[in-house]
Structure 1
């Protein structure tokens, strides 16, 4: 058999076939060409030589093993990747389920707590068993007591007696280890001091020929108040002496105190007796189980105890409620004066506390305290409840700073009295009529004898006559009514009867600790428009009531026991401002 031309070696006798070109050993393929052919499954040359068929078979086997190994490695990588993705998805799903379970548990706890709070059946409030405390201590010396003949004399000649009584009371307080009575920087108020006496002269009886209209009830609820009682005693004795003891009744109820409050009140009662002032100073040693009772209902009961003198004598014109605060006599008199001069139904101070905790380190200033009760005529709180950074700003600058309150803010920044919807603020003077009568305000009563100039007021729904005099109350579980503070509810009941002129006096401040009273920010605020010696208001100071508009709705932050966060969407409701049982409105 003839050999193939591709297998035969070239010689001279065999002609070359031009259709079958052959590679020459001196012309090797380009570098890497053999490896490329191997990967493509073709023949390969190494270093310019043709590969033996057996070697080629071995090469094919090696390539097969290589490809199988690579395929297995690829499968492993794919398997690991799929496993990792699946694991991640499982972990993510488990995390989401766990988070959902935690949120569901928290929501359940919040709902159950809310349900227990709103629909909880509380015990009835503790009914006080008050007892007089004056018998616990000895009387003041007879030389200090006001005789019957002196009752007809003007107050002025008896100024020495007040100082002597205070000296005796201070000596008794010293024996108890209590602080001094006159440590505050108070303005001088006495019948022998003409700095502010002329401003408040119309408030007091100057003699039998000029009797004062109506009496004043000074009402206090106290608990563990031995530190502030000396200052309060000075204020009560000075105001009582200035207005005339025969026209003032001091009503104090203390319960459950564990310090020297009860004994200190007994000495104060003896001092008032020596001054010739009527008083009802009571104590109940039993402690209150605050966890078992509705707090607002219980506080309402205690506040109503100090109103008991109204049921024995209806000849009261003013009621002044005083918290356990540091206060000057001039602060009390200024509120009584402002209420009458502004033809208002209530006049409030401003109460302040020092920043505490981390806020005190960043901003050692003061902040307004009674945000829960006070409302502007826009129906909002005086400072935004959700402004958690307000403590980092100057305390006096954050009030009336919400949109739509520019007019109130302008008066506040000048230190002028500001009309509001409600307030308490540790000290307020109220018209006594809603507490002693069921009638509506004379401004809305066509049969009253008020002049037309005093009748001018804002347009609103007709007031609601009541079947009984106003008293403090709780709104818990009242259909359609927010469970607000008893202090805010009394403002609402005043408005319902037409007693709707409420104001805050920036120059009058009270505090819950003595150093805060002299805080530079508060001193600056009080100096913007301090009380003048004039017995009348200046034009800028007077409030033009008809030019203001009452709120259409008022925000209410319901009482929530225990820890909580003040988010409006979670706690606040908006309700009509002057209905005894208001319909809760959704804010539009």
Structure 2
């Protein structure tokens, strides 16, 4: 009997171990594979300000936080700038990271090696007309990702240079980073602004390990968007938000997500993100992502095992066909490490990231999935996954993913633009799989909790 119980429990234990392992390996803001809503089930993290006696800037004053580079113990020049010691990192280390971020050719720190940019393919994305509007708004929530910054921020800034810095803005929310991430993000302010782009840096004290995790994640995402919402006169009908996780990303990945949003007429485009839980890559954002049939990207049975993670879109023939050819396909919801979406969703439609409405028995789900659900409710369900963009959450494994899945340029040179387009489904699936936990899955009407509100 004990042996039988062990055999039944083993898959659940393995899935739990996998999910917790992925979580411990990533930042506090990233989507965790293990759904968790109760505060006592969240993974605890160290509160630096309390436990390490570290003085952080006043987070109530964004300008002060931007200018507070750290404690002035020592300094050295960086292209004419005086770099001070940070809260955690010495000035020399900060200098090396800033140089690596600003110089895409620098190899002094580990970074993802990316192909030369196909400027012809993306030339139409360049902001051609002058003005004060923001055409591209980059938003990030980051924590404890120091080693990733040369790749992540370096690729973002290269994209900003290409698109036109004067029409770009970068907004970053940071929280509780014991590795010096804050020091680097504070130090690059002047460099980014000298490019001509706007830079909004806001350290946050929100601790997602305590209380309502999804509510706090939603608050952090909305916080990153706040500088754009505070300047509605600078938002146009074509302004695009680029919201990135802490991923190993190339400039061509960023531009391809933008390019496809315009090329196929999408309101939102998503990448594909992966993790190496074993020898082979596994699709990561399975808790949030739902196909146009309403189901998860791969099947997770009631015992919680991920044995079918290799079998993506097993019950959606058209989606599977397009995915296998690395062609864009429609989804009910996605995030997958990086997205672009129309800023008008925020400014005209009033969408915000939120938690589930428990009073109306709304499915417990992640804030990105609810964002997509609210898009469909407003008749804006042109949500597409771009499978040429494949991401991971570390430089080392990001290289492995590019070797396994290919770079964007490896795929698009073999594709015709006509093949990239498809017929959009106007109506969402009647029902969408609700997955509060791996072992508790059921189907609900896609608009459950919303239909009764709208007249």
Distance in 2, Cα, partners of 1:580 & 1:522 = 43
Deviation at 1:483, TM superposition (A): 1.6
Deviation per CA, 1:120-175: give whole Å up to 9, x if none: 9x9xxx996464234417896469xxxxxxxxxxxxxxxxxxxxxx989226999x
- Which residue of structure 2 aligns with residue 365 of structure 1? 280
Residue 130 of structure 1 contacts residue 283 of structure 1 at CA under 8 Å; is this kept in 2? no
* Structure 2 CA distance for aligned equivalents of residues 388 and 227 of structure 1: 36
Q: Does 1:545 align with 2:424?
A: yes
Query: Is 1:413 matched up with 2:324?
Result: yes
Alignment check: 8 A CA contact 1:375 1:381 kept? yes
CA 1:204/1:497 → structure 2, altered by over 3 Å: closer, same or farther?
same
Aligned twin of 2:89: none
SS in structure 1 of the partner of residue 419 of structure 2: coil
The alpha-carbon deviation at position 371 of structure 1 amounts to 0.2
Report the alpha carbon displacement of residue 579 of structure 1 after superposing the two structures with TM. Answer: 5.8
Task: Give the SS at the match of 2:147.
Answer: coil
CA deviation string 1:243-295 (max 9, x = no partner) = 101111100000122220110101222220121111101113x462623x100
Quote the residue 2:29 is aligned against.
none
Distance 1:214 1:267, change over 3 A: closer
Q: How many residues align?
A: 378
- 2-structure distance, mates of 1:528, 1:478: 47
Match of 2:252 among 330, 341, 356: 330
How has the CA–CA distance of structure 1 residues 229 and 521 changed in structure 2, closer, same or farther, with 3 Å as cutoff? closer
Question: Match for residue 112 of structure 2?
Answer: 184
1:179 shift after superposition: 8.4
1:251 aligned residue (164, 171, 187): 171
1:399 aligns with 2:312: yes
Q: Which whole-Å CA distance do the structure 2 matches of 1:237 and 1:398 have between them?
A: 36
Q: TM-score, normalised by structure 2?
A: 0.74
Tell me the TM-score normalised to structure 1 length: 0.58
- Residue 293 of structure 2 is aligned to residue 378 of structure 1: yes
Equivalent position SS for 1:330:
helix
> Which runs of no fewer than 5 residues in structure 2 stay unpaired?
6-35, 48-57, 82-94
State how far apart, in whole Å, the 1-side matches of 2:266 and 2:170 are.
23
Root mean square deviation of aligned Cα: 3.7
Separation in structure 2 between the aligned mates of residue 212 and residue 525 of structure 1, nearest angstrom? 38
Distance in 2 (alpha carbons) for counterparts of 1:167 and 1:514: 17
Contact 2:432 2:445 in 1 (8 A): yes
**C-alpha separation between the residues in 2 aligned to 1:521 and 1:249?**
28
Aligned pair in 2 of structure 1 residues 577, 392: CA closer, same or farther (>3 Å)? Answer: closer
1:312 aligns with 2:230: yes
Residue number in structure 2 paired with 1:265: 185
Contact residue 355 and residue 365 of structure 2 kept, 8 A? yes
Computing the radius of gyration over CA atoms, which structure comes out larger, 1 or 2? 1
Deviation at 1:574, TM superposition (A): 2.1
C-alpha distance 410-387 of structure 1, shift in aligned 2 (>3 A): farther
C-alpha contact 1:318 1:432 (8 A) present in aligned 2? yes
More strand by share: 2
Is the partner of 1:303 in helix, strand or coil?
helix
- Aligned pair in 2 of structure 1 residues 198, 580: CA closer, same or farther (>3 Å)? farther
| Residue 392 of structure 1, CA deviation | 5.8
Cα contact 1:204–1:212 (8 A) shared by 2: no
**Aligned twin of 2:207:** 288
CA distance in 2, matches of 1:520, 1:510: 7
Residue 572 of structure 1 deviates from its aligned partner by 2.1
Q: How does 1:148-167 map to 2 (within 5 A)?
A: none
Q: How does 1:17-416 map to 2 (within 5 A)?
A: 129=60, 131=62, 132-136=65-69, 141=79, 169-170=98-99, 180=108, 183-189=111-117, 196-206=118-128, 208=130, 215-284=135-204, 286=205, 288=207, 290-291=209-210, 293-314=211-232, 315-316=235-236, 317-355=239-277, 360=278, 364-386=279-301, 397-401=310-314, 403=315, 405-416=316-327
Query: Among 570, 574, 579, which residue is 2:443 paired with?
Result: 574
> Is the partner of 1:183 in helix, strand or coil?
coil
Q: Which residue number in structure 1 is paired with residue 395 of structure 2?
A: 514
**Aligned match of 2:9:** none
Which sections of structure 1, spanning at least 5 residues, go unmatched?
A: 1-94, 100-115, 144-165, 190-195, 439-468, 561-565, 584-588
